[in-house]
Amino acid sequence: MQLSTHALTLRFGPTTALSALTTNFPEGSRTVVWGPAGGGKTSLLKCLAGLLRPTEGEVRWDDVSTSGLSAEARRAAQVDFGMVFQTDALFDSLTVLDNVLLPLRNRRVPEAEASARAHEALRRVGLSHALDRRPEHLSGGMKKRCGVARAIVARPHVLLADDPFSGLDPQTERSIAELLLEVSEGRTLVVALPDPVDALPVTRTVRLVDGAEARG
């Protein structure tokens, strides 16, 4: 899926998070969106995924403007997106396996198929040995891996990752970067970071400052 924004503006009351941003993310590309805190990186990822609606301008999924979609059509299209959150966003009351199963159960995927897909996703991220653990018993790197497994279990066409290296040591950062590159093969990957990192080679970078793309 190709993503693009056209004069995308997002405001929260008097605060402008994104300002007339026009950019694109070609299908199958790998992009790092980087810049200082408060620059609009997380807001952009959420707009790309349809989790936030633009105040002005638009987001397009291929050639379709999300502004013209009904709520039902938007939800149906969001199965094409997987998102890795900065805070992991794991449910402490659920095991690793149940956290990864959750998106499939929400989509009412048959239990046998959901279980097979969750086990495969956890195998890919190296957590087959931790299926019954709860998040409180996982290291920071394991939590990130669980978040990646949950993001890819629905087999999305687009993978979005919001500062996935936050709080990780350099070795674990490299490990998670390698994992993101592996699981995003053939997908559109957009990663939000404070700064580009050598461990994550990408097709292109977009620098955001005060909600606008900074050139040069």
Q: Model's pTM, two decimal places?
A: 0.90
Tokens of 66: 């999300």
> CA–CA separation, 133 vs 121, rounded Å?
16
Question: Which pLDDT does position 86 carry in this prediction?
Answer: 81
Tell me which of 71 and 59 has the higher pLDDT: 59
Span 105-133, mean pLDDT? 94
d(CA 202, CA 153): 23
Homologous superfamily in CATH for domain 3-213: P-loop containing nucleotide triphosphate hydrolases (3.40.50.300)
Q: Is the pLDDT of residue 216 over 70?
A: no
By residue count, the chain amounts to 216
How do residues 149-208 score in pLDDT, each as one tens digit?
999 998 899 999 999 988 888 888 888 999 899 989 999 999 999 999 888 989 899 999
What is the structure's pLDDT at 76? 85
- In the predicted model, is pLDDT for residue 88 greater than 80? no
Please, which residues bridge with residue 8 across strands?
Answer: 21
State how far Cα 134 lies from the chain centre.
Answer: 22
Rounded CA gap, 98 and 102, in Å?
Answer: 6
Mean pLDDT of 65-86: 88
Q: Choose between 36 and 79: higher pLDDT.
A: 36
Q: Is the pLDDT of residue 116 over 90?
A: yes
pLDDT tens by residue, 15-61: 999 999 999 999 999 999 999 999 999 999 999 999 999 999 999 99
- Measure the CA–CA gap between 207 and 216, rounded to whole angstroms: 9
